[in-house]
Amino acid sequence: MTLKLAIISGIIYGYANTEMFYVPMNIFWLCGLVHGLIFGIVTGDISTAMILGGQITLLTISQVASGGVEPSDICLASCITIPLALITGMDVKTALPLCIAVGLIGNMNTPFFYSVNNYMAHVVDKYVDRGDIRGIKRMTWLTAAIDFVISFPFAFIGVYFGSTVVMALVEKMPEWIVNGLNVAGGILPAIGIMVTLKVIDRPKMIPVFLMGYFMVILFGVSVIGAAIMGGCVVAIMWNVSAFRTEKQ
Amino acid sequence: MAENQEKESVLTKKDIRKAYNGWHQWAEVGHSYERMQGIGMCRSQLHILEKLYKDNPEGLKKALKRQSELFNTEGCIGATVVGATVSMEETMVELPEEEKNSIITSLKVGLMGPFAGLGDSLNWTVLKPIFLGIGCDLAIKGNPLGAVIAIIFAVLMYLEGRYLYQMGYRMGKSAFTAILGGNLISKLTTISSILGMFMMGALGASYVSLATPIEIVIGNNDAIVLQEALDSIVGGILPLGALFLIHFIMKKTNRYGLICLSVMAVSVVGSFFGIF
């Protein structure tokens, strides 16, 4: 099972690094939900895998693909942490700090891929200068293939050899560290949420944030319930005169 | 419509659609610091340039060169620029090379930035957290529908890009003033930002957790359980405190990785001293 998961993990990470097909690539690149579904179907434990994927995604919910700061490699974090947690039976909240570590390490390989792509761009240039359309087609496929091949091992090795390491670590950890990591797992989602606030960058709307917060705390509404209420309020605002700038 | 003005275009509707799918497939392949999406941009238009310059190999080389230069925008809203570029390549095919090069390149380079800004701020900063927030909520309850929400978002983004690409193609240069000039986008961004803020509040309340086991002993056996005292004021004070503490720290620094590591360190140390 470990080998199977390691191969699937390598394939997912390899595909994400070819960056082919903009939208599906971004879904693999920026969130762990689909990873969760895939690993869940393979192991048969869809529920745990989805919980892990959801937690990872929540942590990094505001990351934007291009420009700005990319705090971590969510794709590698999902590709390694979800299978590892499923194999070792690690607690979800303990898995989150591991996920952050993997994400931070993973982000360091971006310059490496960009350098490879830079070289390939110059190879493509030779065919552009000759006006060789078939050559350009071949070379762009080759670029994608190279990106796949060099990224596959990152996820494969992480899952295949990581499981023994993590298993040994989890067994020997003292109670207070485990508790501390659990506490951290509870606070960490705040980072993803607050980064979103920062990038939306509308400080005057903090009360709207508090409305959403206390609506859930005080009335126990679900997030989807809150989304429906928020959607209605926003739909009303769309027609309120203060926002109607183009007419009158 | 462009089709009516053109006497006889060599490009079919299928070619135009194919260029969007090509863009969608190749936009980010081979992304590098030096050229960014340039190679992908060129790759997506190969079949179009091949047809337009069937009898003009020199023009083809120049066109390939022009399209493979640095380009970088957002893939969906930015597809408007791609559509307009295709339409310009088509309508300007007869113009002298020099003139054509400067018009197309300056439009491409001048507009990729504003459209990338629009796309990043609307699609990925505001709409993505709203959709994925709902997806996460389902996923954390163990529901596979969470992944379906992510896929629905992906399909919507693809369709948005296809619509805007076609619009960019139909209107050519005038597409830009229609989108950048109107205030529809700014209204849409404001409205979605409000919904986004609201959703983040709801997500924060649902998934950020923090509690303290501290008990303050007064006199003989009376102990005040701090958590109960806090809850009697209003629920969720500690998580809200953590949220705004992080908010405050983020105003000072952009190093999110460091903030993550600090949260972990503080939690473990706090756990050692029995604060959490």
Say whether residue A231 is in contact with chain B using an 8 A CB cutoff: yes
Q: Do A200 and B126 touch (CB under 8 A)?
A: yes
Q: Give percent above pLDDT 90 in chain A.
A: 21
Of the ranges A196-200, A220-224, B199-203, B249-253, which one carries the lowest mean pLDDT score?
A196-200
Report the residue from B194, B240, B257 with minimal CB separation from A213: B240
Cβ contacts of A62 on chain B, cutoff 8 Å: 125, 128-129
pLDDT the model gives residue B6: 45
Residue B241: pLDDT band (50, 70, 90) is very high
Q: Do A21 and B197 touch (CB under 8 A)?
A: no
Say whether residue A75 is in contact with chain B using an 8 A CB cutoff: no
Q: How many residues in chain B?
A: 276
Q: Number of C-alpha atoms within 13 angstroms, CB side, residue B5? A: 9
pLDDT the model gives residue A71: 56
Q: Do A187 and B30 touch (CB under 8 A)?
A: no
Residue B139: pLDDT band (50, 70, 90) is very high
Q: Which residue has tokens 């070289």?
A: A119
**What are the pLDDT digits (tens) for A233-248?**
888 887 775 555 554 3
Distance between A241 CA and the closest CA of chain B, angstroms: 12
ipTM reported for the complex, 2 dp: 0.79
DSSP assigned state of B27: T
CB A80 within 8 A of CB A157: no
Q: Does A34 score more than 90 pLDDT?
A: yes
How confident is the model over B74-85, as a mean pLDDT? 87
Question: Where is pLDDT greater, at B11 or A10?
Answer: A10
> Who contacts B269 (Cβ-Cβ below 8 Å, separation ≥6)?
A180
pLDDT the model gives residue A42: 92
Q: How far apart, in Å, do the first and last CA atoms of chain A sit?
A: 66
Chain A nearest-CA residue for B148: A34
pLDDT the model gives residue B242: 92
**What are the pLDDT digits (tens) for A113-140?**
878 888 888 888 888 888 888 898 999 9
Q: Does A72 score more than 80 pLDDT?
A: no
Residue A185: pLDDT band (50, 70, 90) is confident
Contact map slice: A 101-130 vs B, CB within 8 A:
104, 107, 114-115, 117-118, 120-121, 124-125, 128-130
Q: Does B233 score more than 70 pLDDT?
A: yes
Q: How far apart are CA B44 and CA A194, in angstroms?
A: 37
How confident is the model over B8-35, as a mean pLDDT? 82
Q: Is the dihedral angle over the CA atoms B41, B46, B47, B53 positive or is it negative? A: positive
Q: How far apart are CA B6 and CA A245, in angstroms?
A: 37
pLDDT the model gives residue B250: 86
Q: How far apart are CA B32 and CA A135, in angstroms?
A: 20
pLDDT the model gives residue B152: 92
Cβ contacts of B181 on chain A, cutoff 8 Å: none
Q: How far apart are CA B124 and CA B127, in angstroms?
A: 6
pLDDT the model gives residue A193: 84
Question: Where is pLDDT greater, at A171 or B62?
Answer: B62
pLDDT the model gives residue B186: 73
Q: Do A193 and B200 touch (CB under 8 A)?
A: yes
> Who contacts B111 (Cβ-Cβ below 8 Å, separation ≥6)?
B81, B84, B176
Report the residue from A61, A188, A221 with minimal CB separation from B263: A188
pLDDT the model gives residue B5: 47
Q: Do B30 and A177 touch (CB under 8 A)?
A: no
Q: How far apart are CA B79 and CA B115, in angstroms?
A: 9
Q: Does B2 score more than 80 pLDDT?
A: no
pLDDT the model gives residue A248: 38
Q: How far apart, in Å, do the first and last CA atoms of chain B sit?
A: 66
pLDDT the model gives residue B177: 60
DSSP assigned state of B134: H
Distance between B32 CA and the closest CA of chain A, angstroms: 5
Q: Number of C-alpha atoms within 13 angstroms, CB side, residue A108? A: 7
Q: How many residues in chain A?
A: 248
Q: Give percent above pLDDT 70 in chain B.
A: 91
How confident is the model over B98-119, as a mean pLDDT? 79
Average pLDDT, chain B: 83
Q: Does A104 score more than 70 pLDDT?
A: yes
How confident is the model over B220-240, as a mean pLDDT? 83
Q: Give percent above pLDDT 70 in chain A.
A: 92
Distance between A156 CA and the closest CA of chain B, angstroms: 22
Residue A109: pLDDT band (50, 70, 90) is confident
Q: How far apart are CA A80 and CA B65, in angstroms?
A: 40
Q: Does B168 score more than 70 pLDDT?
A: yes
Q: Does B1 score more than 50 pLDDT?
A: no
Q: Does B226 score more than 90 pLDDT?
A: no
Q: Does A66 score more than 60 pLDDT?
A: no
Question: Where is pLDDT greater, at A162 or A245?
Answer: A162
Of the ranges B19-23, B26-30, B129-133, which one carries the lowest mean pLDDT score?
B26-30
Report the residue from B43, B49, B139 with minimal CB separation from A140: B43
Average pLDDT, chain A: 83
CB A58 within 8 A of CB B207: yes
pLDDT the model gives residue A69: 41
As a 3-state breakdown, chain A gives helix, strand, coil percent values, each rounded to 5, of: 85, 0, 15
Other C-beta atoms within 10 Å of B99: how many? 10
Q: Do A129 and B65 touch (CB under 8 A)?
A: yes
The tokens for A74 are: 């969510």
Q: What's the longest Cα–Cα distance across chain B?
A: 99
Cβ contacts of B38 on chain A, cutoff 8 Å: 121
Number of A–B residue contacts, CB under 8 Å = 378
CB B264 within 8 A of CB B251: no
Q: Domain residues of chain A, as ranges?
A: 1-201, 202-247
**What are the pLDDT digits (tens) for A191-213?**
888 888 887 788 888 999 999 99
Say whether residue A146 is in contact with chain B using an 8 A CB cutoff: no
Distance between A155 CA and the closest CA of chain B, angstroms: 20
Report the residue from B136, B157, B268 with minimal CB separation from A57: B136
DSSP assigned state of A150: H
Cβ contacts of B130 on chain A, cutoff 8 Å: 227
pLDDT the model gives residue B153: 92
CB A205 within 8 A of CB B194: yes
DSSP H or E stretch at residue B218: strand B215-218
Instruction: Please tell me whether residue B244 adopts helix, strand or coil conformation.
Output: helix
The pTM for the full model equals: 0.78
Question: Where is pLDDT greater, at B212 or A66?
Answer: B212
Q: What's the longest Cα–Cα distance across chain A?
A: 70
Report the residue from B25, B43, B139 with minimal CB separation from A50: B139
